[in-house]
């Protein structure tokens, strides 16, 4: 039986050329796998037909938008996942769902190798290959751009020589990856980190400098999942799409960051993720109302580790699964409504309400009706600070007291 290779197929130049390039270099038959995670562009049937026209013996296409939103974006939302506190894992989240379909296709078509179009400098090669071998340790991985020296110039020459049905322009200065959770833009003049992004960089967001009238939106959550917007029931996919539209119109979610890649280099990335940023802001605020203090404090550390694991390509790892269990448990009471104003590039929470809230108005108020017994505070402070007090007394006893500095204490000015 002829060897078979499953190729993650985008429909673009590199992966279209990769079909024939792999076949010639390895003698294997190539099965193209295209997965729609909300990246827009061409119809899946058009992409399937192109793969076959470029020499694939089979073409597997999957509309994974609902799956991606429900099984990948929502867990990231529950974890408030923001790499370096700013990047909501746009590309990192899409790789494991694509990996799952690649492995499924490899089993279905009897392939022994899975190929992808990543270079040797980025994070995605790790995400694909670690993901693939985590689900199917017996499968081999191949990266034509990295392993078979498929440069862009060679890809264009190959496409022209073989009359492949693919555009071969050299003029697009950017490398772009997008899905329903957001859009990532890199390379070109952005590699000079002093250069500001130009207007043509952005697609998902409008310029926040001249925003339209402010947009007020109410997002309803049930156990950490957005289930309605302004009272209208939505699926996870619909929630992300609607917030992309509304927050994007206000310029919310533009991110310009120099980030630390897993492979050890720093990389300048520009992202736009209007729906993700707005939903995470709303979700975090509802957690502020519904999570117990110590649980919330511990969750922040879990969120950071969860985010790092996903960024580093460890979606299918044992630790990630264990952290999922913790995060899901914290969402038991994260239900209620969050009101936000979207305007001028900002998503600002202006109201929150929840039947499972831990906020007690009568305990919090300073006005009549206050039920907080302030007489308890003195004893609480005495016990709370006891260990520090004892340690300070020891320091004084051994001459290690804190240096208060020299000079006179400031006096209150009497000038009018």
Tokens of 390: 């004892």
Element (H, E) at 169: none
What pLDDT was estimated at residue 168?
62
353 is catalytic: no
112 is catalytic: no
80 in a known ligand binding site: no
CB 30 within 8 A of CB 19: yes
CB 205 within 8 A of CB 52: no
The mean of the pLDDT values for the chain is 93
Give start-end residues of each CATH 1.20.5.470 domain in the chain. 362-397
8 in a known ligand binding site: yes
User: Which residues have C-beta within 8 Å of that of residue 346, sequence separation ≥ 6?
Assistant: 208, 250, 252
Q: Give the DSSP per-residue string, 180-213.
A: TTEEEEESGGGGSTTSPPPGGG-SSS--TTS--S
Orientation of helix 236-249 relative to helix 274-290, angle to 10°:
110
Domain 4-172 -> CATH class? alpha beta
Which residues lie across from 272 on neighbouring strands? 183, 254
Which residue among the candidates 4, 14, 50, 346 is catalytic per the annotation? 14
Tokens of 369: 């009706």
95 is catalytic: yes
What pLDDT was estimated at residue 413?
58
What pLDDT was estimated at residue 187?
84
Q: Give the DSSP per-residue string, 108-123.
A: HHT-SEEE----SSSS
Give start-end residues of each CATH 3.40.50.620 domain in the chain. 4-172
What pLDDT was estimated at residue 163?
87
Q: Does domain 362-397 correspond to CATH entry 3.40.50.300?
A: no
Burial code (b: 16+ CB inside 10 Å, e: under 16) for 290-327 equals bbeeeeeeebeebbbebbebbbbbbbbbeebeebbeeb
Tokens of 212: 């339209």
175 in a known ligand binding site: yes
Show the low-confidence residues of the chain (pLDDT under 70). 167-173, 409-416
pLDDT tens column, 391-404: 999 999 998 877 88
What pLDDT was estimated at residue 306?
98
Q: Report the distance separating Cα 22 and Cα 112, nearest Å.
A: 14
User: In the sheet where 225-229 sits, what is the strand order?
Assistant: 232-233, 225-229, 215-222, 336-343, 346-353
Q: Report the distance separating Cα 194 and Cα 240, nearest Å.
A: 32
10 in a known ligand binding site: yes
Tell me the pairing of strands 336-343 and 346-353. antiparallel
111 in a known ligand binding site: no
What pLDDT was estimated at residue 416?
56
Which residue among the candidates 4, 36, 50, 124 is catalytic per the annotation? 124
354 in a known ligand binding site: no
Tell me the pairing of strands 346-353 and 254-260. unpaired
Which residue among the candidates 95, 246, 254, 268 is catalytic per the annotation? 95
Tell me the pairing of strands 225-229 and 232-233. antiparallel
CB 146 within 8 A of CB 176: no
Q: Which residue has the tokens 């995470």?
A: 280
CB 21 within 8 A of CB 144: yes
What pLDDT was estimated at residue 165?
84
Backbone angles phi, psi at 71, to 5 degrees: -95, -10
Measured in whole angstroms, how far is the alpha carbon of residue 130 from the centre of its chain?
Answer: 18
- H helix intervals, 312-344: 318-330
Is 272 exposed, middle or buried (CB count within 10 Å of its CB: 0-12, 13-18, 19+)? buried
What pLDDT was estimated at residue 203?
95
Which residue among the candidates 175, 222, 394, 395 is catalytic per the annotation? 175
CATH for 176-360, options being 3.40.250.10, 3.10.450.50, 1.10.150.120, 3.90.1260.10: 3.90.1260.10
Task: Please choose, from the candidates 11, 92, 79, 7, the residue with its C-alpha nearest in 3D space to the C-alpha of residue 50.
Answer: 11
2 in a known ligand binding site: no
Which residues lie across from 336 on neighbouring strands? 221
């Amino acid at each position: 039986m002829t060897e078979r290779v499953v190729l993650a197929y985008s429909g673009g130049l590199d992966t279209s050329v990769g079909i024939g390039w792999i076949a010639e270099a390895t003698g294997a038959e190539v099965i193209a796998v295209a997965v729609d995670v909300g990246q827009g562009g061409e119809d899946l049937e058009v992409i399937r037909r192109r793969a076959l026209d470029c020499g694939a013996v089979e073409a597997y296409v999957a509309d994974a938008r609902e799956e991606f939103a429900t099984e990948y974006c929502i867990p990231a939302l529950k974890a408030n996942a923001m790499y370096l506190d700013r990047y909501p894992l746009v590309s990192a989240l899409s790789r494991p769902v694509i990996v799952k379909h690649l492995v499924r296709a490899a089993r279905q078509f009897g392939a022994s190798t899975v190929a992808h179009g990543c270079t040797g400098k980025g994070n995605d090669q790790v995400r694909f290959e670690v993901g693939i071998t985590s689900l199917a340790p017996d499968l081999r991985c191949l990266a034509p751009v990295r392993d078979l020296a498929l440069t862009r110039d060679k890809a264009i020459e190959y496409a022209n020589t073989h009359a492949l049905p693919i555009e071969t322009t050299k003029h697009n200065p950017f490398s772009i990856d997008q899905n329903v959770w957001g859009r990532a833009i890199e390379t070109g003049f952005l590699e000079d980190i002093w250069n500001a992004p130009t207007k043509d960089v952005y697609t998902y967001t409008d310029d926040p400098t001249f925003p339209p009238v402010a947009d007020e939106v109410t997002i309803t959550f049930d156990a950490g999942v957005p289930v309605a917007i302004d009272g209208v029931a939505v699926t996870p996919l619909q929630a992300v799409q609607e917030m992309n539209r509304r927050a994007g119109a206000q310029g919310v979610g533009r991110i310009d960051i120099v980030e630390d890649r897993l492979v050890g280099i720093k990389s300048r990335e520009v992202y736009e993720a209007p729906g993700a940023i707005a939903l995470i802001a709303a979700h975090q605020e509802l957690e502020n109302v519904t999570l117990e203090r110590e649980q919330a404090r511990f969750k922040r550390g879990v969120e950071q580790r969860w985010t790092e694991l996903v960024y580093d390509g460890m979606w299918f790892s044992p630790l990630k699964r264990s952290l999922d269990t913790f995060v899901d448990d914290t969402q038991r009471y994260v239900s209620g409504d969050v009101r936000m104003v979207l305007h001028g590039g900002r998503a600002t929470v202006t109201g929150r309400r929840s039947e499972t809230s831990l906020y007690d108005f009568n305990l919090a108020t300073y006005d009549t009706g206050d039920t907080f017994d302030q007489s308890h505070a003195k004893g609480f402070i005495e016990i709370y600070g006891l260990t520090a007090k004892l340690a300070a007394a020891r320091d004084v006893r051994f001459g290690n007291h804190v240096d208060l500095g020299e000079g006179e204490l400031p006096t209150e000015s009497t000038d009018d």
